Amino acid sequence: MIDLLLIATLGFLGSFGHCAGMCGALTVSFALSSKNQEKWWTSLVFHLLLNGGRIVSYGLVGGILGSFGNLLFTSQVRQIMAIITGLLLIWWGLIRIKPDFLPQLPIIHPLQGKLHQILSLAMNRVANRNSWWTPVVLGLLWGLIPCGFLYIAQIKSAETGDIWWGAATMLAFGLGTMPTMLGVGVSASRISADKRSQLFRLGGWITLIIGILTLLRTQAMIDYTGHGALLLLMLALIARPISAWWRGLLQYRRLIGVSSYILAIAHTLHQLDHSLNWQPQAISFMLPSHQLGLISGIVALLLMTPAAITSSDRWQNSLGKSWHKIHLLCVPALILGTIHTIYIGSHYLGELEPTWHNQGRTIVVILISLGVLGMRIKMRK
């Protein structure tokens, strides 16, 4: 229930900045297309039916996505989806709170261009009809239009892995956006631009909270968040060496690095809860190899912290050449993160009874880390 309240709040607060700007003109054009908008109450009924159709469309899509996740995604895949969802929510929240902190990330619908064209043609045909069901059908089609803000709610509904919870998630999101869209449609919104901006940023904080809860509240995330943090750190470090072949990775290097840091924090919190039961003194009773791995992970997180904090354009301009030196701390952080992985990871040497599989995985991780370090060394020559 808390998740539904949070997603509804996200829809409500985010709608003041995003929906009013992106879909406000569409709402007004729907209203103008209707020939029965003279009285305020007929206008209200029209927009209630319009938004009701949109929300029903959201719920149907959410149910499909939830059942799809339940049928085709294993528990491991759903955990990965939860990580992706959490990171997207945190990213969306951060750029709403501070737009220049992270680069814009293009989220592209696989059918975006073709789907837009088909839906636009269908809505134009329906809009010419003057029937009571016209706004309902327009709303149903409207709910299918690709939208970056909507993607997050859709991913969250798919991550539930349940048809009813998927539908409920999208319905809650849609109900959250309804007051703003009704206001835009009926009165073109009387809320000032300054108030909309404040509510938009507040929506960013709600989005950030939902993203953090997504990473922390899922089960069995200790390995997934740890591996995810290490993988993203590697990608951030090789972004420049391979920029000649893959320019896009360099463009979003800071975003990838911050995502690695966020996952590292989530991994640390899971470790404190799962391994130590929030009792740091338990470290003294661990095996020496496990102690080494744990301490290495803590130091790696501390080394990544200055780089994560200074990942904005403002810090880069203020620090000048020192900014690059601070971010070079991520190189020893990778070494220590690798040591942490192989000495405390349950699939590596951290297992009390090592197997050939664990030893093989250990060798693979070491070789990959050495490969990343080799690329960095070659780049500096």
Note the pLDDT of residue 188: 46
Residues 229 and 308 sit within 8 Å (Cβ to Cβ): no
Residues 300 and 308 sit within 8 Å (Cβ to Cβ): no
What percentage of the chain carries pLDDT values higher than 90?
Answer: 14
Pick the closest to residue 154 from 62, 56, 253, 230 (CA basis).
62
d(CA 208, CA 75): 24
Q: Chain-wide mean pLDDT for the chain?
A: 76
Q: Is the pLDDT of residue 146 over 80?
A: no
CB atoms under 10 Å from CB of 168, counted, come to 21
Per residue in 101-112, pLDDT (tens digit) is 666 655 544 445
Note the pLDDT of residue 333: 96
Please, what sign has the CA dihedral across residues 154, 160, 161, 165?
A: negative
The mean-pLDDT minimum among 24-28, 177-181, 363-367 falls in 24-28
Which structure tokens are listed for 143?
Answer: 């709910």
Burial category of 240 from C-beta neighbours within 10 Å (exposed 0-12, middle 13-18, buried 19 and up):
middle
Residues 246 and 375 sit within 8 Å (Cβ to Cβ): no
Q: How confident is the model at residue 258 (pLDDT cuts 50, 70, 90)?
A: confident
Residues 238 and 232 sit within 8 Å (Cβ to Cβ): no
Q: How confident is the model at residue 116 (pLDDT cuts 50, 70, 90)?
A: low
Per residue in 279-337, pLDDT (tens digit) is 878 878 888 888 898 999 999 999 999 999 888 778 888 888 888 889 899 999 999 99
What percentage of the chain carries pLDDT values higher than 70?
Answer: 67
Distances (CA, A) of 105 to 53, 94, 241, 263, 275: 30, 12, 22, 18, 35
Note the pLDDT of residue 377: 83
Q: Is the pLDDT of residue 230 over 70?
A: yes
End-to-end Cα distance, the chain: 56
Q: Is the pLDDT of residue 338 over 60?
A: yes
Place of tokens 């966020």: 262
d(CA 312, CA 306): 12
Q: How confident is the model at residue 189 (pLDDT cuts 50, 70, 90)?
A: very low
The mean-pLDDT minimum among 40-44, 168-172, 175-179, 361-365 falls in 40-44
The mean per-residue pLDDT over the stretch 138-151 comes to 72
Q: Is the pLDDT of residue 113 over 60?
A: no
Note the pLDDT of residue 336: 96
CA angle 373-376-379, nearest 5°?
150
Note the pLDDT of residue 260: 92
The mean per-residue pLDDT over the stretch 360-367 comes to 91
CB atoms under 10 Å from CB of 340, counted, come to 29
d(CA 207, CA 179): 19
- Give the HSE-up count for residue 107: Cα atoms under 13 Å, Cβ half-sphere: 15
